[in-house]
Chain A
């Protein structure tokens, strides 16, 4: 056996051989690697540690650079680490740091080895163990090795000490209770004479304060000393990073550090330190005018530098300061615009950001003009960046910067035509959004849509399909503004629409339907007018201009029969019909069905295009184009097409067989068709508006309703069903959102108001789901009773009160939005409170997400300790101020030792201030005193005292993280810098 292992050792390939061999295998490298893996798998099982370690080294090489899995070797790595030889240890630790993670099953086995190596006399071994801990340390390792780390923190070898300090970060992060043990020694090291040690400590604090700066406010004096005294750039950068965090918490601190930072800015030659100073000023000291001015001067120096890095960073700093000091950007406006055409993508992007920051109501048109021109010239990627940032800037805060929406609508149209444009979705959303929010822009939108729809070239670009979908929707929805519906119809039905994806085709079909209805409706209206004018003896058929105003009917009866009649009318003769047209129209005048809710357009009527021929042509065109689609495989298209064709059949009979009607003088049929048209018209003329995402929440629970406990089950079920719904509809896709909002709220309020049995609730859920589906696809035109369309007053009767409130609220918000001083009055942008609520609600969530998990660990970890004092703490997040005070009285020792003092009530601030300072000192004295005694044989009593002390240190953190953040902020923090 021994002989075999020697032979193995002798003939084993070491790492260098492996690399050499692999470099010779140019072609079949993967084969070679798999062969070497087999070799390694064999060798690693060897009993000889040397063989094993070489195999492990080869394995970690292959894993790190060729991406091979080495988790199978975890146990072998531990074996290698346990070797007495340094080389083996080194290889073993390297493999461990590279491959171990929290899921590694053998992790527990290395605790003892690490401990042994940390106590080793060879400081390189200690360093290996520390490195290993800093990389793979989990909670168990951190807990078990805290005493060793604590001992090493006071090692006399700087080589070991700096690594022990650095490892503390990982230990704190994983095992927050270690703070109680190690924190003091860590702080002591701040006063070390060795700059390397100080820099290591500051590095640790920099990392820690990034996650939870509040806890480190008490250390500000120490940091300040370094800021003023140190000459080490590296150290200064880190201290500045810490201060950037602290200064935003404590304004007096900001005042204090402003001067030294300016001093550094004036004096230093190091760009990195300079940049850090600038960054600190622009991010945290933006109130200090002189500092900001100096920083801007320095930024300008960066900007004119030849080094692209400095240019980039300068622009970056400018964009940080832009929100607060726009003048700094405006001062460098020319440079920024020039940088848009820089060769460096980063610089271009930064300057784009800055340009967008400069946008305001007055200059938005010019700036976008410049940018669109740049977009036309630049490469696709940057072009889309430009378009994206124009879109996002203009739509910010509900189109805050836009005054002239007609201009914006045409800009959107123009952007759609830029060759590289890939922002179809965003443009689609905005087109529809402004269509719904801003009434005044609709004619222009229809105009823009028409131009887009009519251009057959655009259909070939898949990126534009979304925009075309929006255009189709807009021209269908607001067809009354269209100048030439016939032309629009042709555009919607052009052959190249077969290039569109089916969902968008369905949209086209739907729009066709709307345009058709509108057209036929106008036709009937026209007929009536002609008829009435004939009656009154006035042959000159004038267009009633009074009809051009769009009215919204108060009620509509949607329960009437849908145009289901699909009778075939094969042998019609369009020419015949022409003569009887007059007859028909004269007959019609008796029953003026159109009493209210007329919506007609002066423009379309004015063209006098409503001859019998034109309408027949139109119907034929639609039938011809949609005929093939009725056999489409896509359900949406098929169904919508069938609707249109069915409708055409219904009305064609009347229009094309006028002889019968004319002869028999029966108004009934005519009434039927025009009634149907009118009904459809009414259904379509319901205005769709943006719906606030929080609208549902406003529906109050009716009085006298007691929600039983077992409804919680129901909630669970419905909660599932509702969640995806509410998240899926937003203003981003309003054409769906509204469709199902009303029925949804209906159903939901039903759910809430009636203590339903579970089966009914399931039914409701089912309906809700399917309601969503049908409604969104059917565009709400032919709806049965269960699924009333959006904004149908009838359906809203049930919630009328709440809805009225909502309307009032929206009106208020709209009213408040108006700006009186505009030269050209800005059109009203329909704004919902929900928009803001949604935004505001998101923010705290985000913040709490940003609070690092580590500090929360600190809190949770310490609370979990079974000390009597902790029980008080543990319920603090839920309880409030009271709990805080109680804590103070309960634990006098703690509050005395506490060096943070943030939780002190505000009133007592000044009186306690001095006391506090002395505490700080006392603490230091004490710690110095303690240091002597505090050896490994710490008595139990000391331990508790110390723990209390540390614990006190802890408390401010808890404060800071708790829900009472704001309360904790107000109490006065002692002037640390005195």
Chain B
């Protein structure tokens, strides 16, 4: 089972955090900080695993990958394979890359909800359900279409209302001016 997914930048700012066991927010922040503390002390070109028992309790492993300015971190227990988790990070990043066309940190900063949608398609309640990025993208696109169409509808609705409102104001102004001129 996967316990947590974190994305943070090299300054230690969290960009995405998801805990599959409930953790109070203060605890979440503390965990992120301590993970970053260890990550930042690790050199380049060393193994991608980290002893996480002291941070997350016994029988937890942590694997991370460093892409440009971001660390992608997965925390999991003994029912997951270490190398497979490393691959999963790769899948996640690939998916992001396809979704955002050359993903960069800014994309991740600005698309909070899309990021979660993508992640939720790959990992469901701590279990890996989908490892093919094309499938994930397909689902994510459908979901965003689904929500976009609805929100579009709302915007149109608001737009109509406001234009109606403006029309009324204009109409009233026109009426008033006509009235004044008539005088």
Contacts and interface: CB of A to CB of B under 8 A. Distances in A.
Interface of A: 6, 9-10, 15-16, 19-20, 23, 50, 57, 61, 63-65, 67-70, 85-87, 90-91, 94, 100-102, 122, 124, 130-131, 134-136, 159, 162-163, 166-167, 169-170, 196, 200, 203-204, 206-207, 210, 233-234, 237, 241, 271-272, 275-276, 308-309, 311-313, 343-347, 349
Nearest to B120: A131
Nearest to B153: A85
B67 interface: no
Nearest to A162: B129
B83 interface: yes
B104 interface: no
B128 interface: yes
24 contacts: A6-B161, A15-B113, A19-B109, A19-B110, A20-B110, A64-B16, A64-B17, A64-B18, A67-B28, A67-B29, A94-B116, A102-B22, A124-B146, A131-B125, A134-B125, A169-B127, A200-B127, A234-B128, A272-B83, A311-B47, A343-B46, A346-B46, A346-B50, A346-B51
A233 B14 CA distance: 32
A847 to B, nearest CB: 14
B79 to A, nearest CB: 5
B94 interface: no
Given A10-B158, A275-B83, 4 more contacts: A50-B154, A65-B14, A272-B81, A343-B43
Nearest to A88: B150
B40 interface: no
A86 B120 CA distance: 16
B83 A6 contact: no
Interface in B138-152: 139, 142-143, 146-147, 150-151
Closest 5 CB pairs of A and B: A134-B125, A272-B83, A67-B29, A87-B147, A344-B46
The secondary structure that dominates the A interface is: helix
Given A19-B110, A308-B47, A167 B150 contact: no
A345 B120 CA distance: 33
B56 interface: no
B26 A163 contact: no
A86 B146 CA distance: 7
Contact of B22 (A101, A122, A207): A101
Contacts of A124: 142-143, 146
Contacts of A69: 25
A85 B84 contact: no
Contacts of A86: 146-147, 150
Among A6, A67, A276, the one with the most B-chain Cβ atoms within 10 Å of its Cβ is A67
A347 B47 contact: yes
Contacts of B42: 345
Given A23-B109, A169-B125, A308 B83 contact: no
Contact of B113 (A91, A203, A309): A91
A64 B23 CA distance: 11
Contacts of B139: 159
Contacts of A23: 109
A241 B79 contact: yes
B147 A90 contact: yes
A276 B81 contact: yes
Interface in B89-128: 109-110, 112-113, 116-117, 120, 124-128
A586 B143 CA distance: 109
B54 interface: no
Contacts of B124: 130-131, 134, 162-163, 166-167
Contact of A57 (B16, B46, B78, B113): B113
Contact of B130 (A65, A196, A210, A309): A196
Contacts of B126: 134
Contacts of A91: 113
B137 interface: no
B53 interface: no
A136 B125 CA distance: 9
Contacts of A130: 124
Contacts of A312: 47, 49
A210 B45 contact: no
Nearest to B33: A67
Contacts of A16: 110
B47 A19 contact: no
B134 interface: no
A223 to B, nearest CB: 15
Nearest to A274: B83
Contact of A19 (B1, B25, B112, B158): B112
A309 B47 contact: yes
Interface in B29-86: 29, 42-43, 45-51, 78-79, 81-84, 86
A169 B128 CA distance: 13
Contacts of B110: 16, 19-20
B125 A344 contact: no
Given A87-B150, A90-B147, A131-B120, A308 B129 contact: no
B112 to A, nearest CB: 5
Nearest to A130: B124
Contacts of A233: 84
Nearest to A135: B125
A122 B51 contact: no
A234 B109 CA distance: 31
A95 to B, nearest CB: 11
Nearest to B8: A65
A31 B1 CA distance: 38
Nearest to A159: B139
Contacts of B109: 19, 23
A275 B80 CA distance: 12
Contacts of B125: 131, 134-135, 166-167, 169-170
Contact of A207 (B25, B79, B82, B117): B79
B10 interface: no
Contacts of B113: 15, 57, 90-91, 94
A16 B46 CA distance: 37
Contacts of B18: 64
Contacts of A237: 81, 84
A163 B129 contact: yes
B1 A207 contact: yes
A652 to B, nearest CB: 56
A210 B25 contact: no
Contacts of B26: 67
A280 to B, nearest CB: 11
Nearest to B151: A87
B162 interface: yes
Contacts of B161: 6
Interface string B11-23: 0001111101010
A167 B120 CA distance: 13
A909 B14 CA distance: 59
A207 B127 contact: yes
Given A234-B84, A237-B84, A309-B83, A166 B50 contact: no
Nearest to A158: B135
Nearest to B27: A67
A275 B82 CA distance: 9
Contact of A309 (B17, B20, B48, B79): B48
B80 to A, nearest CB: 8
Among A65, A169, A196, the one with the most B-chain Cβ atoms within 10 Å of its Cβ is A65
Nearest to B38: A345
A122 B25 contact: no
Contacts of A167: 124-125
A9 B132 CA distance: 39
Given A134-B125, A200-B127, A313 B116 contact: no
B5 to A, nearest CB: 11
Contacts of B22: 100-102, 135-136
Nearest to B130: A196
Among B20, B113, B131, the one with the most A-chain Cβ atoms within 10 Å of its Cβ is B113
A163 B139 CA distance: 13
A306 to B, nearest CB: 10
A23 B81 CA distance: 38
Contacts of B25: 63, 67-70
